[in-house]
Amino acid sequence: YKNPHYAPGRTTMVHLFEWKWDDIAAECERWLGPRGFGGIQISPPNENLIIWSHNRPWWERYQPMSYQLTTRSGNEQQFASMVRRCNDAGVRIYVDAIINHMTGTWNENVGTGGNTANFGQFNYPGVPFGRNDFNWPECYIEPSDYGCCPERVRNCQLSGLKDLNQGTEYVRQMIVTFMNRLIDMGVAGFRIDAAKHMWPGDLRIIYDRLHNLNTAHGFPSGARPYIYQEVIDLGGEAVSRDEYTPLAAVTEFKFGMELSRAFQGGNQLRWLANWGPQWNLLASADSLVFIDNHDNQRGHGAGGNILTYKQARPYKGAIAFMLAHPYGEPQLMSSFGFQNTEAGPPMDSSGNLISPSINSDNTCGNGWICEHRWRQIYQMVAFRNVAGNTNINDWWDNGSNQIAFCRGGQGFIAFNNDSWDLNQNLQTCLPAGRYCDVISGSKSGNSCTGKTVTVGNDGRALISVGANDYDMMLAIHRGPES
């Protein structure tokens, strides 16, 4: 369950938060496939409660009404077509699976697929679930429970969301049927939402009943779904990430927290020389990593001061470090713009999602940020693909916030987060020649729109990153784009 089964040569997934299935299919064909992206985490595809009393917040999708595949993102037929078109473009689909709970209690009770529910009775006819399928008597997770009481974290309600009992055979069957239907339609794996709030033993039973990935969608025979479990573990809680790594991969929230700190100047970049498990991060093979996610970019979940698109310069620095460094399976966030933390995605007055528009410079409009279309980000995806499974070598630092390293003989990157210029003759580990910096520009024909780096026969080159340059890093690699 720890292999994403990307198409050959691909390494990175992007969370297209709240995108519509038709738009994702188009994005696979026009952008993600050609640019070498490996996969997409999609928003939950199953029916959710419509919450007009909060003006259709983004978080309504975390309140399941049934496992029918109808949401604001599209219906089942559109979902199937998206998975087919993306797999054909070499881009895998990973589903955000909400299997810990159903909805909270609300006055509104109609779902995106037209199902209703009786919250007082714990009755969800669209599945169907009834009172016996939930943990009982009901209790609510208090902040202090995280420190003391694993059974309350697992068996009580997270934010008042009705807590399914995965210990019962019927509940497991409904969940497994839902997930297997998605696998048969060609998805490559799952994010397990709120995994901390389910018993590892129950999850193991569920995972072991999942089908192999669908060979008609290009997966090798016998391939197991990729599973990454959302467990927020910053240390010091009664439930630990280590209870989940024997099952499948785990989201490593310390990763984005520490890199956000460092790239905001709260820690010198030179300390990143031993980035990885020595920082008390999970083993690399167990770890799904990101700078920000849909929760902590807006202050939900955990993690404090997380970099997002709103602090673009240090954010791009942290993303570049994530993609240049071999640790973990990286995930990019692709956001819609927001001012307040509840606001839903761009929508019309009926609540229909508005598609992103695509500008002539490849960026998005209509309220969508599309970080995955920022040059400094998508060209680092290509860098990571070229670097492959090489290790870091020839680390250099200035004892402060200027660092540089090679990835085998495939790529070289330098960062300058000091307030003075970086001008150094450094080992790039690349064959002699002229390279085009993929951060400040790109190659068009034989010319380079950004900085050019000339590598000598000894592999060394003069590397310059000014303190006031638009970006704090410079990256070159082998292959046609650089």
Select from 302, 312, 347, 354 the one that contacts ligand ARE (CB under 6 A). 302
Helix, strand, coil percentages, rounded to 5, for the chain: 30, 25, 50
To ligand ARE, the closest distance from the beta carbon of 168 in angstroms equals: 20
Q: Which stretch binds ligand ARE (CB under 6 A): 56-64, 109-117, 369-377, 423-431?
A: 56-64
Binding to ligand ARE, residues 361-390 (CB under 6 A): none
Q: Which does 163 bind (CB under 5 to 8 A by kind): ligand ARE, Ca ion, none?
A: Ca ion
Q: What angle separates helix 253-261 from helix 312-324, to the nearest 10 degrees? A: 130
Looking at the Cβ atoms of 62 and 435, the one nearer to ligand ARE is 62
CA 210 to chain centre: 22
Interface with Ca ion includes 197 (CB under 5 A)?
yes
Question: Token pair of 446, please?
Answer: 């034989």
CA distance 385 to 70: 35
Is the omega angle on the peptide bond into residue 277 within 30 degrees of 0, that is, cis? no
Q: Which residue is nearest to Ca ion (CB)?
A: 197
Q: Catalytic residue at 169?
A: no
Interface with ligand ARE includes 467 (CB under 6 A)?
no
Q: In this structure, are residues 352 and 72 in contact, taking their beta carbons and an 8 Å threshold?
A: yes
Extract the runs of DSSP E, i.e. beta strands, from 54-101: 92-97
CA distance 199 to 208: 14
To Ca ion, the closest distance from the beta carbon of 100 in angstroms equals: 5
Q: What angle separates helix 312-324 from helix 375-387, to the nearest 10 degrees? A: 10
Looking at the Cβ atoms of 163 and 329, the one nearer to Ca ion is 163
Select from 5, 300, 313, 443 the one that contacts ligand ARE (CB under 6 A). 300
Q: Which of 334, 291, 289, 293 is nearest to 315 (CA)?
A: 291
To ligand ARE, the closest distance from the beta carbon of 344 in angstroms equals: 11
Q: Catalytic residue at 230?
A: yes
Looking at the Cβ atoms of 60 and 258, the one nearer to ligand ARE is 60
Looking at the Cβ atoms of 104 and 130, the one nearer to ligand ARE is 104
Interface with ligand ARE includes 391 (CB under 6 A)?
no
Binding to ligand ARE, residues 57-86 (CB under 6 A): 59-60, 62-63
- Helices and strands counted in the chain (H then E): 9, 20
Q: Say which of 18, 230, 243, 295 is annotated catalytic.
A: 230
- The site map against Ca ion for 122-161 (x = CB under 5 A) is ----------------------------------------
Question: Token pair of 465, please?
Answer: 């990153």
CA distance 330 to 314: 18
Interface with ligand ARE includes 149 (CB under 6 A)?
no
* Cα angle: 15, vertex 33, 475; to 5 degrees: 80
Q: SS3 for 78?
A: helix
- The site map against ligand ARE for 231-260 (x = CB under 6 A) is -x----x-----------------------
CA distance 265 to 279: 17
Q: Which stretch binds ligand ARE (CB under 6 A): 80-88, 173-181, 272-280, 300-308?
A: 300-308
Select from 92, 196, 224, 254 the one that contacts ligand ARE (CB under 6 A). 196
For 224, phi and psi rounded to 5 degrees? -90, 150
Q: Say which of 133, 145, 193, 233 is annotated catalytic.
A: 193
The gap between the terminal CA atoms of the chain, to the nearest Å, is 34
Looking at the Cβ atoms of 196 and 254, the one nearer to Ca ion is 196
Question: Token pair of 321, please?
Answer: 């470090």
CA 147 to chain centre: 27
To ligand ARE, the closest distance from the beta carbon of 54 in angstroms equals: 8
Site residues (vs ligand ARE, CB under 6 A): 59-60, 62-63, 98, 104, 146, 158-161, 193-194, 196, 230, 232, 237, 295, 300-302
Residues carrying an active site annotation = 193, 230
Site residues (vs Ca ion, CB under 5 A): 100, 163, 197
